[in-house]
Chains A and B, each alone.
Chain A
Amino acid sequence: MVFNSLEFVSFFLVVYALYRLLPHRPQNWMLLGASYYFYAAWDWRFLSLLVGSTVVDFFVGRYLGRETAPGRRRLALVLSLVFNLGMLGFFKYFNFFADSLVRVFGWIGWRVDPVTVNVILPIGISFYTFMTISYVIDVYRRDIRPTSNFVDFALFVGYFPHLVAGPILRAPLLLPQIARPRVVTRMQIVEGLWLAGWGYFQKMFVADNLARLVAAVFGPGATPTGLDVLIAVYAFAFQIYGDFAGYSNIARGISKLMGIELNVNFLFPYFVVSPQEFWRNWHISLSTWLRDYLYIPLGGNRGSSLATKRNLMITMALGGLWHGAAWTFVLWGVYQGLALVVARTIQEWATRSGVTLARGLTWSRVALGVLMFHVTCFGWLIFRAESVTQIVRFSQLLVTDLRPGPSTIRSLLIPFLEIVTPLLVVHIYQARRGSESAPLSLGTVTRYALYGAVGYLIVLFGDFEGAQFIYFQF
C-alpha cells in the first residue's frame, strides 16, 4: 500500500475517523494495529521481522536502563547491534556480498560456486532498523530514559507514516508525542493538508512524470546523445527529490493531521553552495543519523585534518551502501565522500588565506550554487545508472557529444521544463521564506490560486497508477 494509491487514501480516512473518535490510549492501540496492517498489506510474512526487532530492542532498552555494570551494558548493546545489523545484512546485502566474493575469487583464478539465497528485501527495513539502533544507543549513552510502555515503543518503531521510507525518527522527538495525549490544532490541520497536498504534487506530478523522461534515456535500448544524458540527469535530480521529499511531506502532513510532528527531512537541497550544506539539507534524518552514530564515534573532526577526511570517506561510503546493495551505490557514496573532502580542503585553504564568501544572494554565491548543483547531478548519474559501464559511457557522452538528438528538445527539454517550472516557482518562494509551509502565509487570493493550481496539476497530469516511491527499495 503506497501513499499515492486509493487503497491508502481509503485506509487513512478510516484510521483518521477512528483516531478523532478515540481517547489517547486506545488511539495508540489503534494506530499500532493500523500500522501493522499497513505493513502487512505489502507482505505479512515480514511483519515478524518488524515485531522481532521491536521486541528485542524494547527489552534491551529496558535492560540498559536498569543495568549499571559497564561490561554487561556493552554486551547488551553489542548483542542488539549484531541482531539489527545482522538482520539488515542478511536481507539486504547477503547476495551482494556473496556475488562480489565469487567475482573477486574469479579474478584471482579461484573458481567458487556461488551461494545465493532467494531473499526478498523487506520494505522499510533500513529505516526501522536505524530507528531501533539509535534508540538503543541513546539509552546506552544515557541520553534518554527507556520507555516502559511496550505499545508506545512498538508505535514509535512501526508508526505507519514513517515506516517504509522515513524520515528516520529519533526517540526524543517521537516517543514523548506518543506517550502524552495529543491535541490537534486548527493550524496543524491547515498545515497538514497543505504539506500532504504539496507532497502528492511532488510525487504524482513532478517525480512520476519525470520518471518517464529519465527511463527513456537510462532504460535499455536507448541511444542518447550527451545532451540527452544531461537533461535526463537534471530530470532525475528533480525526480528523486520530488519522490523522496514528496513522501516525507505526505508523512509529515498526515502526521500533523493527527497532532504528531515529524522532523523536516528536506530543506531546499539544490539551493546550496557546498557539499556540507547539501548534506545538511538532503535526507536530513539520515545524514544526522550517520553523523551522530557513525562519523562522530569514528572521531569526527576531533583529530587531524587527514583523520577527519578519512572519517568522512568511511561515513559516506557506508551511507552509499545503506542506499542499496550495488556497487553503483557504493561508488555514489565514495563520490559524495570525495566531494566533502575536496570541499573541506578548499575551505581549509580559504580559511588560511582569509577568503570568505559574501552573505546573501550574490553572483559568486549563485555561481557556486550552479556549480554545486552540477556536482550533485553527477552524483545522481552514478546513483541512477544501471551499471558501472553505463556510468562510464554516459560520462564520456557528457564531454564528447553535447549535441541535440532528433527528439532532444521536443521529448526531453520541453517536458522537463514544463514539469519542473511549477515546482521551482513555489520552491524559490518557500526557500526564501525558509519553510515549505510558507505559502500558507500568502494573501487569500494567491493562496487559493496556488491550491487550485496544485490540485489541477495533480488531477489532470499526475500519475494515478500508484507508482512506487524510489526510497522503498532502500
Chain B
Amino acid sequence: MRRALLLVVILALQFVVLEGAIRWHGGSEVAPEFRRLFMQDPRVGHRLRPDARARFTTVEFSTDLAINAQGVRDDEPIGPKAANERRVIVLGDSLVLSVQVPFAQTFCELLEARLNAADPAHRWRVINAGVQGYGPVHEWLFFNAVASEFEPDIVLIGAFVGNDAVEANDTEAWLDAGRPTTAGTEAALNVLRRLVRSSVVLQLVRMRWDLLRGRFSSPTPERPVSSYLADPPPDVLHGLDVSRRAFEKIARRADELGARAGLILFPARFQTDDGDYGRLNDMVHRAGGVLIRNAATARFREALAPLGLPTIDLLPILEAQPDRIGLFYQRTIHFTPRGHELVSGALFDFLMTSGLVRQLP
C-alpha cells in the first residue's frame, strides 16, 4: 500500500514537471501558447481571439502569429471600405489559416499582391478568414456572424474534401439552429473537457485514448479517410448534403451583400503524395476497405455542382507539379511556402478567368 502511494506521488510530481516542460517547449497545437489564439463565441463556437499574438514552433517551422482586432489573421484592422477598395474573403479551415508560414507567405497575402499588381486602379484586400478546425457549418456561422461585416466583393468558400463532409455531418444541428447547440450529455461532458483542455499532458493522453478507442470501436478506417472509401458510410453522404446546404447559405448571404461567391476545393496531401497514398492505402486495405484516391474530390464536385458557383479544384494544379512532395509539410497536411505560392497563382488565374473579378461593378 505504501509503495502504491509512493508511485502515485512520483507520477503526480512527474506530471507537474512534464506539464511545465511541454508548456515551456510549445511546438504542438495542444500547447497553451497555441490554444490562446482561440476563444469561444456563442454565435460560432470557437474562433480566433481578436488581437491575440503567439509564436508557434514545431520541428518544421516557427511562425509569429498575429490576429487583428476583428479576429482574423491579418496585419492590419478591417475598417470601412474605401471607394476604390475591393475585398475578397477566403473562408476555410487550417489550410486557409496557415499557421505554418509567416503571414506574408500565406496564399491569401500573395494573392492580394498579385491582384494589386494586375489592377493598380483598385486597392485589393484579401482577407484570410480561415480558422483551425472549421467545417462547412462553422464557415457559414462565422461568415454570417462575423465576416459578412467585412463588406466583401468576392467570397471564396474553401472546402477541404478530406474531412469537411464528416465535420458537416457532425454539426448539422448547428446549421438548422443557426448557432452552436449542445445536447444534454454534451453539456455534462463539457466540464470534463474543460479540465482536460487546461492541461497539455491530459490533452496528449486524451489524443492517445481517442486513437486507441478508435481502433477498438470501429473496424473501418479513420473517419476523415471514409470520404475516400469506395463504399462510404452514410455520414459522409449526408455530410456532403449538409455541406452543400451550408455553402448555399453562404452564397445567398453573399448575394444579399452584393458579393459574388466562388468555391475552392482543397485536396488532402495524400492525393498528391504517392508515398503517403501508399501508406494510407495499406492501412485502409488492412481495415478491410477500398481507398479511391480522388473519390472525395469527385464527391464534393458532384454534391456542390447544383449550386452553380464558379469552382476551382486545386487537385489537378497540384498534381501537375514535378516535385509534389515539397508542396506540403511532412508532419502536417498543410502547404509549405512553395505550396502557398502555387495556390496563390492558381487562385489569381481562377478569379481572372471565372468572371468573378470581371462581374464587379
Residues on A facing B (Cβ under 8 Å): 6, 212-213, 215-216, 219-221, 407, 410-412, 414-415, 444-445, 448-449, 451-453, 456, 459-461, 464
- The answer to whether A464 touches B205 (Cβ under 8 A) is no
Q: How far is the CA of A410 from the CA of B56 in the complex (A)?
A: 13
Q: Is the interface of B mostly helix, strand, loop or mixed?
A: helix
A445-B10 contact, Cβ under 8 Å, with A411-B60, A464-B211: yes
Q: List 19 A-B contacts (CB under 8 A).
A: A212-B330, A212-B331, A216-B330, A220-B325, A221-B325, A407-B59, A407-B60, A410-B57, A410-B59, A411-B59, A412-B59, A414-B59, A444-B6, A448-B7, A452-B14, A453-B14, A456-B15, A460-B205, A464-B212
In the docked arrangement, what's the CA distance between A456 and B11, Å? 9
Min CB–CB distance B93 → chain A (angstroms) = 23
Residues of B within 8 A of A407 (CB): 59-61
Q: How far is the CA of A221 from the CA of B18 in the complex (A)?
A: 35
Contact present for A459 and B205 (CB under 8 Å): yes
Let me know if B10 and A449 touch, CB within 8 A: yes
Cα–Cα distance between A213 and B58 once the two chains are bound (Å)? 13
In the complex, chain B residues whose CB is within 8 Å of the CB of A452: 7, 10-11, 14
Excluding A410-B62, A444-B3, 11 further A-B contacts by CB distance (< 8 Å) are A6-B216, A212-B331, A215-B330, A221-B323, A221-B326, A410-B59, A448-B10, A460-B205, A460-B208, A464-B208, A464-B211
Q: Top 5 closest A-B pairs, CB basis?
A: A221-B325, A411-B59, A460-B204, A452-B14, A448-B10
Closest Cβ neighbor of B323 among chain A residues? A221
Residue in contact with A415 in the complex, picked from B15, B59, B323, CB distance below 8 Å:
B59
The reply to whether A456 and B59 form a contact with Cβ atoms under 8 Å apart is no
Q: A212-B331, A410-B62, A459-B205 are in contact. Are A448 and B6 (CB under 8 A)?
A: yes
With CB as the reference atom, state the residue of chain A lying closest to B205.
A459
Specify the main secondary structure of chain A where it touches its partner: helix
Chain B residues with CB under 8 A of A220: 275, 325
Give residues of chain B (58-75) contacting chain A, Cβ–Cβ below 8 Å. 59-62
A213 CB to closest chain B CB (Å) equals: 8
Q: Interface 1/0s, chain B 180-207, versus A by CB < 8 A?
A: 0000000000000000000001001100
User: Chain B residues near A221 (CB, 8 Å)?
Assistant: 323, 325-326
User: In this assembly, does B215 line the interface, its C-beta being within 8 Å of a C-beta of chain A?
Assistant: yes
* Least CB distance, B114 to chain A, in whole angstroms: 26
- State the CA gap A215–B273 with chains docked (Å): 15
For chain B, residues 1 to 59, give those with C-beta under 8 angstroms from any C-beta of chain A: 3, 6-7, 10-11, 14-15, 18, 57, 59
Cα distance A456–B10 when bound, in Å?
Answer: 12
Quick check: B14 and A456 within 8 Å, CB to CB?
Answer: yes
Tell me, rounded to whole Å, the shortest Cβ–Cβ distance linking B8 to chain A.
10
Which range contains the number of B residues in contact with the other chain? 20 to 34
Among the interface residues B7, B201, B204, which one has the most CB atoms of the partner chain A within 10 A? B7
CA–CA, A372 and B219, complex, Å: 48
Contact with A along B210-246 (1 / 0, CB 8 A): 0110011000000000000000000000000000000
Q: Which of A216, A453, A460 has the most CB of B within 10 A?
A: A460
B215 and A460 contact, CB distance less than 8 A:
no
Residues of chain B from 303 to 361 with CB closer than 8 A to chain A in the complex: 323, 325-326, 330-331
**In the complex the two chains form, what is the Cα distance from A464 to B216 in whole Å?**
14
Rounded to whole angstroms, the CA-CA distance of A213 and B331 in the bound complex is 10
Considering the complex, give the chain A residue whose CB is closest to the CB of B12.
A452
A456 to B17, CA, bound (A): 11
Q: When chains A and B are docked, how far (Å) is the Cα of A412 from the Cα of B204? A: 23
For the complex, what is the distance from the CA of A81 to the CA of B121, rounded to whole Å?
Answer: 84
Bound-complex Cα distance A460 to B61 (A): 21
Complex alpha-carbon distance, A445 and B216, angstroms? 35
The reply to whether A460 and B18 form a contact with Cβ atoms under 8 Å apart is: yes
Q: What 0/1 readout, one digit per residue, does chain B (120-154) give for beta carbons within 8 Å of chain A?
A: 00000000000000000000000000000000000
Q: Is the CB of B10 within 8 A of A6?
A: no
How far does the alpha carbon of A449 sit from the alpha carbon of B14 in the complex, in Å?
Answer: 8
A213, closest chain B residue (CB): B59
A456 contacts B18, C-beta separation under 8 Å:
yes
- Considering only CB atoms, which chain A residue lies closest to B62 in the complex? A410
**Complex Cα–Cα for A220 and B57 (A):** 24
Query: How many Å lie between the Cα of A415 and that of B205 in the bound state?
Result: 21
**Docked CA distance A415–B211 (Å):** 24
Residue numbers in A under 8 Å from B15 (CB-CB): 456
B14: chain A residues within 8 A (beta carbon): 449, 452-453, 456
Closest chain B CB from A451 CB (angstroms): 8
Which of B11, B62, B212, B275 has the most A CB atoms < 10 Å from its CB?
B11
Measured CB to CB, the closest approach of chain A to B201, in angstroms, equals 7
Shortest distance from the beta carbon of B313 to any chain A beta carbon, whole Å: 24
B contact residues around A451 at 8 Å (CB): 7
Min C-beta distance of B58 to chain A, whole Å: 9
B212 touches A6 (CB 8 A): yes
CA distance A152 to B208 in the complex (A): 40
Chain B positions within 8 Å of A411 at CB level: 59-60
Q: How far is the CB of B106 from chain A (nearest CB, A)?
A: 19
| Residues in B whose Cβ lies below 8 Å from that of A449 | 10, 14
A448 to B326, CA, bound (A): 45
**Complex Cα–Cα for A410 and B25 (A):** 12
Task: Note all chain A residues with C-beta closer than 8 A to B331.
Answer: 212
Using CB atoms, name the residue of chain A closest to B274: A220
Chain B residues whose CB sits within 8 angstroms of the CB of A445 once the complex forms: 6, 10
Kindly state the separation between the CA atoms of A460 and B275 in the bound complex, as whole angstroms. Answer: 26
| Bound CA–CA A149/B72 (angstroms) | 74
Minimum CB–CB distance for B18 against chain A, Å:
6
Alpha-carbon separation in the docked complex, A321 to B29 (Å): 44
> Nearest chain-A residue to B325 (Cβ)?
A221
Measured CA separation A463–B322 after assembly (Å): 31
Measured between alpha carbons, how far is A410 from B57 in the docked complex, in Å?
Answer: 9
Would you give the shortest CB distance from B205 to chain A, in whole angstroms? 6
Compute how far the CA of A216 lies from the CA of B15 in the bound complex, rounded to whole angstroms: 31
CA distance in complex: A414, B11 (Å)? 26
Question: Complex Cα distance A411/B331, Å?
Answer: 11
